[in-house]
Structure 1
Amino acid sequence: MSKPLGFEKPLGMRDILPDVLEKQRWLEHQVKACMKQWGYREIGTPTLEYYDTVGGASATLDHKLFKLLDSEGKTVVLRPDMTAPIARVASSLLKEDPLPLRLMYTANVFRAQKNEAGRNAEFPQLGIECVGSSSVDADAEAIALAVSVLKEAGVPVFKIAVGHIGFLEGLLEEIIEEKEDREKLKEFLYHRDYVGFRHYAKGLALPEGNEARLYELLRLRGGKELLERAEAITVNGQARKAVNNLRELWEALEAYQVEEYVLLDLNLLRSLDYYTGILFEGYAANQGFSICAGGRYDSLMAQFGRPCPATGFAVQMDSLLEAVNYQPVQANKFLILYHANQRTEALARARALRTEEKAVVITQRKEEWAQTDFSQYTEVIDLTGEEAI
């Protein structure tokens, strides 16, 4: 194995240059301020977590976890998300706090990538978790807050796609007897392989009516009007209950006045076995990847000894950076040039300007400055009295 070159970085890692980081920090400020206005409190958790606790509870697939051994021989992971760590904290340090808990975070998360994937293995997320409420109002709050966050960040055009895992699983159970076949169809939906879904469904040799119900599932995208169509292809039980849940959700979203940003998508599937109810993804115009995603995960907290419902979402900062056209405000920036015997005077001038919240760079005037682009400075103060720059 060859030694890496001095400028190389591990697979999936990247440097963030000043202009991009300035935009990222501005977006973080906008998003966090919005979340705080909704009553969420910021929390931080370690970068390293135990594999047997947080690693095993995460929705991230095992082969995408960064695993290490600590000094005691225990397997730890670089946190793949923030939901499982927050569930751990809510079940331990915050176990005496009354529910619901409203927590928010900003953190880098880590997921291993393959050589051909071309994706970042470390990336920043901002998000919220509402722990302890099973009401449809909590689901509506999460979606409405996601809308508010994207608007506050300056995303010009976006939609939030909303689905329900209970509808999907309930409908498949009504139509298909074998669990293996149901799981295979869910995999096609997870990968958005609708051609594969149709082909596999055709091979099941289902009664014509049931086959038509599966194909109708793929067409269930739109506004609240599709809920009647969804109800028409269900018999009863879990799928019908999910439709009623979505109807109540839509009423709540109308009360929030965000329904224009919401699209129902009843074949949406984000994880094969993690979400337990309403789930959603946000997409900006002309982007192939989701800009935010979340949903209800009522089974997670029990893994940490505090069974209770929960919902939340995360904003993908990398996608948000691409979606927002941010023009930084050019702050006043001064350059003070001096000779060695003028250092005290130069420092005094710099202090005075900085008390006025000006940015100041000071340096001795040297020959190499003749080749410098001074357009970045609001004013150049040359104490040397030499030829103007």
Structure 2
Amino acid sequence: MTIQMFEKPLGMRDDFPFIAKKKADLRTNGTTIIQQAGYELLQTPTLEYYETIGKISAIADNALFKLLDSQGETLVLRPDMTSPIARVAASKLLKEKMPVRLGYYSTVFRAQKREGGRPAEFEQMGVELIGDDSLYADAEVIILAGNIVKNLGIKSSRFVIGHTQLLQLILEDFGLNQEQIEQVRSTFVSKNSVGFETLTNQLPIESSRVESFISLISTTTIEEWQQWIDPHNAKQTALYEEMKKLKKILDRSGLSDLVTYDLSFNSHMTYYTGLVFEVYAAGSGFPLGNGGRYDGLMKQFGLEVGATGFGLRVDRLLELISAVPERQDHTLILFDEQNEDAAYDEAQKLRAQAKRVTLQFAPAVMAIDKFSNHFSEVLRMEGVN
């Protein structure tokens, strides 16, 4: 295979100045909101051990970037942020601060098999609340995700909320074994309604309950969930009551019209063990982010604590913020060797007034007129005594 000089690895992208600035602004706005909510920012290494983070991560093995270090250990480029932060939170330094609130803005890497427009490197912004197993923690992260999206000026956002554990208990009530439950979950994750109905005909479900089973994929309100709750099953009842309380909190926070309660909703991230959610918005065919409760993941790091959080895809947020570069005030000062001192003084004076100024040696520019068109104001000081 011949690699061309300007070719990039599969899934890798360049960020041109307009996008780079948008990302910088988004990072500032988003992390400010995260810190105002009481979260501390942290950064984990780009490289992690495959035996720990690589295997624990919910990312498929063939989507991991792997390499060997000088000692022969297999490393991976960070595939997500939840697993590394769980590792950090399990350290003695943070374990004594539980519950701990951690936020991040970081790059993650996921290998792509073929060119299909999907990035192999992208930024995520989010939070993890570790050490709190209450529904109030779940409500906090959902509301925070909503606040970030709203602050970025993204309109028509929506949340889809489900519950992994409650769905598991309900599927067991239909007489399914774990292998069959996993098959059902797979159709839910891929949102394959045709595949779900085909699978239903192959499952050992009582004929009188088939219609009820198929209705699992069409719920939109928390009240609709009640038809599958067994009042004699204490665990089901407790989880359903918690979801009703969660709804009250979200309604109080102004999200009542923005949430769909879909009992069949499941995440492809397999470490979620309780409430799960995704964030959508008009204008994007993909979720802007996802989150949920992952108590089971913490056990793999030796901690018996609750944990919940979310991650937002920065590239998808950017697509909705603005597609057109904004024209901003930007002054160009052109100078030559005779008036460099005066040009420098003028630039410093304007910058002291909070103006954006580019100082350019005129003889080095091949096409001054074209170059000057990129600026809102041009001061030509070359040849001025």
Q: Do structure 1's residue 225 and structure 2's residue 223 form an aligned pair?
A: yes
Determine the structure 2 residue equivalent to 1:381. 379
- Residues in 2 aligned to 1:3 and 1:259: alpha-carbon distance in whole angstroms: 55
- Residues in 2 aligned to 1:286 and 1:231: alpha-carbon distance in whole angstroms: 36
Determine the structure 2 residue equivalent to 1:291. 288
Contact residue 165 and residue 278 of structure 1 kept, 8 A: yes
- Residues in 2 aligned to 1:321 and 1:379: alpha-carbon distance in whole angstroms: 28
Determine the structure 1 residue equivalent to 2:96. 97
Question: Residues 203-224 of structure 1, C-alpha deviation per residue, up to 9 Å, x if partnerless?
Answer: 225211232221111111x233
SS class of match (1:314): strand
Determine the structure 2 residue equivalent to 1:311. 308
Determine the structure 1 residue equivalent to 2:109. 110
Q: Do structure 1's residue 251 and structure 2's residue 248 form an aligned pair?
A: yes
Q: Do structure 1's residue 343 and structure 2's residue 340 form an aligned pair?
A: yes
Q: Which amino acid aligns with 1:175?
A: F
Determine the structure 2 residue equivalent to 1:9. 8
Task: Give 1:357 shift.
Answer: 2.3
- Residues in 2 aligned to 1:218 and 1:291: alpha-carbon distance in whole angstroms: 22
SS class of match (2:316): helix
What pairs up with 1:207-286 in 2 under 5 angstroms?
207-220=206-219, 222-231=220-229, 236-271=233-268, 273-286=270-283
Q: Which amino acid aligns with 1:315?
A: L
Task: Give 1:27 shift.
Answer: 1.5
> More displaced, 174-183 or 188-197?
174-183
- Residues in 1 aligned to 2:228 and 2:204: alpha-carbon distance in whole angstroms: 23
- Residues in 2 aligned to 1:346 and 1:124: alpha-carbon distance in whole angstroms: 39
Determine the structure 2 residue equivalent to 1:85. 84
Contact residue 23 and residue 326 of structure 1 kept, 8 A: no
| Uncovered stretches (5+) of structure 2, i.e. residues with no partner | none
Task: Give 1:252 shift.
Answer: 1.9
Determine the structure 2 residue equivalent to 1:302. 299
| Uncovered stretches (5+) of structure 1, i.e. residues with no partner | none
- Residues in 1 aligned to 2:283 and 2:329: alpha-carbon distance in whole angstroms: 35
> More displaced, 10-19 or 243-252?
243-252
- Residues in 1 aligned to 2:331 and 2:378: alpha-carbon distance in whole angstroms: 6
Determine the structure 2 residue equivalent to 1:49. 48
Q: Which amino acid aligns with 1:216?
A: S
For normalisation by structure 1, the TM-score amounts to 0.92
- Residues in 1 aligned to 2:352 and 2:323: alpha-carbon distance in whole angstroms: 28
Contact residue 68 and residue 75 of structure 2 kept, 8 A: yes
Q: Which amino acid aligns with 1:133?
A: D
Kindly tell me: are residues 327 and 371 of structure 1, through their superposed partners in 2, closer, same or farther at Cα, counting changes over 3 Å? closer
Kindly tell me: are residues 160 and 243 of structure 1, through their superposed partners in 2, closer, same or farther at Cα, counting changes over 3 Å? same
Task: Give 1:330 shift.
Answer: 4.5
Determine the structure 2 residue equivalent to 1:151. 150
The count of aligned residue pairs is 383
Kindly tell me: are residues 116 and 336 of structure 1, through their superposed partners in 2, closer, same or farther at Cα, counting changes over 3 Å? closer
SS class of match (1:103): strand
Determine the structure 2 residue equivalent to 1:352. 349
- Residues in 1 aligned to 2:247 and 2:173: alpha-carbon distance in whole angstroms: 25
**Amino-acid identity (%):** 37
The structure 2 residue matched to 1:322, chosen from 315, 319, 324, is 319
Task: Give 1:98 shift.
Answer: 2.0
Task: Give 1:289 shift.
Answer: 0.8
Task: Give 1:361 shift.
Answer: 2.0
Question: Residues 305-363 of structure 1, C-alpha deviation per residue, up to 9 Å, x if partnerless?
Answer: 22211000001111101122377664432222222122222222222222222222223
SS class of match (1:161): strand
Question: Residues 263-317 of structure 1, C-alpha deviation per residue, up to 9 Å, x if partnerless?
Answer: 1111010036311110100001132210010000001112112221100000111
Q: Which amino acid aligns with 1:336?
A: I
